[in-house]
């Protein structure tokens, strides 16, 4: 039975991959114009976890708190671009089939301000729904809260399901509904890894002049292992050689789950973050990807790569040097997910003249800390 079940799962996956409509694939970098005469500023929103405990009063309250954090950061920093750095939703807590409704809610602070954005997937974004144990305790299963009529016969028809929403569906919903989205489904040959694409930051008055390349990668988790595969490594190797053969254009990398290289440079958990690292919170151990497939060796040998940005560990917000590049955490932005420390967001600023890449953390209360120059 185990072998038969596995075979049926594979057939179902292939059917979904080749039958679901998907967003237009940007196999060449999509141009992102930088406003003239000012630095290009990016806000990173990590680990929002919208839709968590949606059947309780606590869950929707945390979503409102997360909206407040993002709004505070956006209004103070006025960024040119926003990156949603994974775990946008806690899909294994989303009781409705269409988790994109929560995804839309997470995007709303950027969208309402007219700020373009992009996203990568985290390990929670398409995890299957998990039945809460308390649902089966006395006095029994509580009423199901989902967009359906009151009759149980219509639950499935009206969108109430417990199967979760996959990466393909989430990406399609984001890109089709939002003209401000720069996200992409990525090359079909990398599926089930989805959010693999490149943006070219260019001068708005000289579109052919590149300022930086921004690479986005799906580090797995949820419906498949937490890993950057060899196929993704080769895709990056091929594309980076094609668009930046002489390494003359700086490159920034964004994915959700830290690589094992983060373990090598991490300060001792619980200790103060000290130079050469910069940061304010160092509560836990690095929780890295399940395996290294050569990606860090590739990046470490590219002088054009200046920094990697990840989320995943809510209790870490440091940046540490690794060879000739920087490994950085974002700050836990959402009120969903574990941890009760203050929320905020990492900001990345790219200056053209003179060239530099700077970063800092902007907190919900307006405080700024952990400023660091990542390249000059």
Grouping H, G, I as helix, E, B as strand and the rest as coil, residue 73 is helix
Geometric angle at alpha carbon 12, from 99 and 225, rounded to 5°? 65
Q: State the sign of the Cα–Cα–Cα–Cα dihedral 144, 145, 150, 151.
A: negative
pLDDT value for 141: 64
pLDDT value for 240: 97
pLDDT value for 128: 84
Residue 43's nearest CA partner among 83, 89, 76 is 83
Residue whose token pair is 């895709």: 235
Question: Torsion over CA of 309, 337, 145 and 167, rounded to 10 degrees?
Answer: 30
pLDDT value for 18: 38
Residue 75 exposed, middle or buried by CB count within 10 Å (0-12, 13-18, 19+)? exposed
Residue 327's beta-bridge partner residues? Answer: 308, 320
pLDDT value for 140: 63
What would the two tokens of residue 240 be?
A: 């980076």
Q: Which helix (H) or strand (E) holds 33?
A: strand 30-34
Residue 332's nearest CA partner among 73, 41, 61, 59 is 73
pLDDT value for 12: 39
**Global pTM value:** 0.89
What would the two tokens of residue 249 be?
A: 């254009």
Calpha distance 30→214 (Å, rounded): 10
The number of helix segments (H) and strand segments (E) in the chain equals 7, 13
Contact 307, 347 (CB under 8 A): no
Residue 85's beta-bridge partner residues? Answer: 120
Domains belonging to the chain, first-starting first, are 2-373 (3.60.21.10)
DSSP state of 348: E
Q: From first to last of its 376 residues, what are the pLDDT tens digits of the chain?
A: 444 443 444 333 434 433 444 443 445 789 999 988 899 999 999 999 999 988 888 999 999 999 999 999 999 999 999 999 999 999 888 877 778 999 999 999 999 999 999 999 999 999 888 877 777 776 666 666 665 444 444 444 445 666 778 899 999 999 999 999 999 999 999 999 999 999 999 987 776 789 999 999 999 999 999 999 999 999 999 999 999 999 999 999 999 999 999 999 999 999 999 999 999 999 999 999 998 899 999 999 999 999 999 999 999 999 999 999 999 999 999 999 999 999 999 999 999 988 999 999 999 999 999 999 999 8
Contact 84, 116 (CB under 8 A): no
Calpha distance 325→306 (Å, rounded): 5
- pLDDT tens per residue, range 291-326: 889 999 999 999 999 999 999 999 999 999 999 999
Q: Which helix (H) or strand (E) holds 6?
A: helix 2-19
């Amino acid at each position: 039975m185990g072998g038969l079940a596995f075979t049926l799962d594979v057939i179902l996956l292939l059917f979904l991959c080749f039958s679901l409509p998907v967003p237009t694939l940007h196999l060449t970098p999509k141009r992102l114009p930088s406003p003239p005469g000012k630095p290009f500023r990016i806000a990173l929103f990590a680990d929002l976890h919208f839709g968590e405990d949606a059947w309780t009063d606590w869950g929707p309250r945390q979503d409102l708190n997360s909206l407040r954090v993002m709004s505070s950061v956006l209004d103070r920093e006025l960024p040119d671009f926003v990156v949603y750095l994974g775990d946008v939703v806690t899909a294994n807590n989303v009781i409705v089939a269409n988790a994109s409704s929560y995804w839309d809610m997470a995007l709303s602070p950027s969208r309402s301000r007219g700020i373009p954005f992009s996203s990568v997937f985290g390990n929670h974004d398409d995890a299957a729904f998990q039945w809460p144990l308390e649902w089966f305790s006395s006095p029994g299963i509580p009423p199901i809260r989902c967009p359906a009529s009151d009759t149980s016969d219509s639950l499935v028809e009206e969108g109430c399901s417990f199967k979760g929403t996959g990466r393909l569906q989430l990406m399609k919903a984001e890109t089709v509904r939002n003209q401000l989205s720069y996200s992409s489904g990525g090359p079909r040959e990398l599926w089930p890894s989805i959010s693999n694409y490149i943006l070219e930051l260019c001068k708005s008055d000289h579109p052919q002049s590149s300022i930086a390349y921004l690479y986005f990668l799906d580090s797995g988790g949820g419906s498949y292992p937490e890993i950057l595969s060899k196929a993704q490594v080769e895709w990056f190797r091929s594309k980076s050689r094609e668009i930046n053969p002489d390494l003359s254009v700086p490159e920034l990398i964004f994915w959700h789950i830290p690589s094992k290289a983060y373990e090598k440079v991490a300060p001792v958990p619980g200790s103060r973050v000290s130079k050469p690292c910069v940061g304010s919170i160092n509560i836990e151990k690095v929780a890295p990807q399940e395996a290294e497939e050569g990606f860090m060796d590739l990046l470490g040998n590219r002088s054009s790569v200046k920094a990697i940005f990840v989320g995943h560990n809510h209790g870490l917000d440091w940046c540490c040097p690794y060879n000739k590049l920087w490994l950085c955490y974002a700050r836990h932005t959402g009120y969903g997910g574990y941890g009760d420390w203050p929320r905020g967001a990492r900001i990345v600023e790219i200056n053209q003249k003179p060239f530099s890449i700077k970063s800092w953390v902007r907190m919900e209360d307006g405080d700024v800390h952990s400023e660091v120059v990542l390249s000059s």
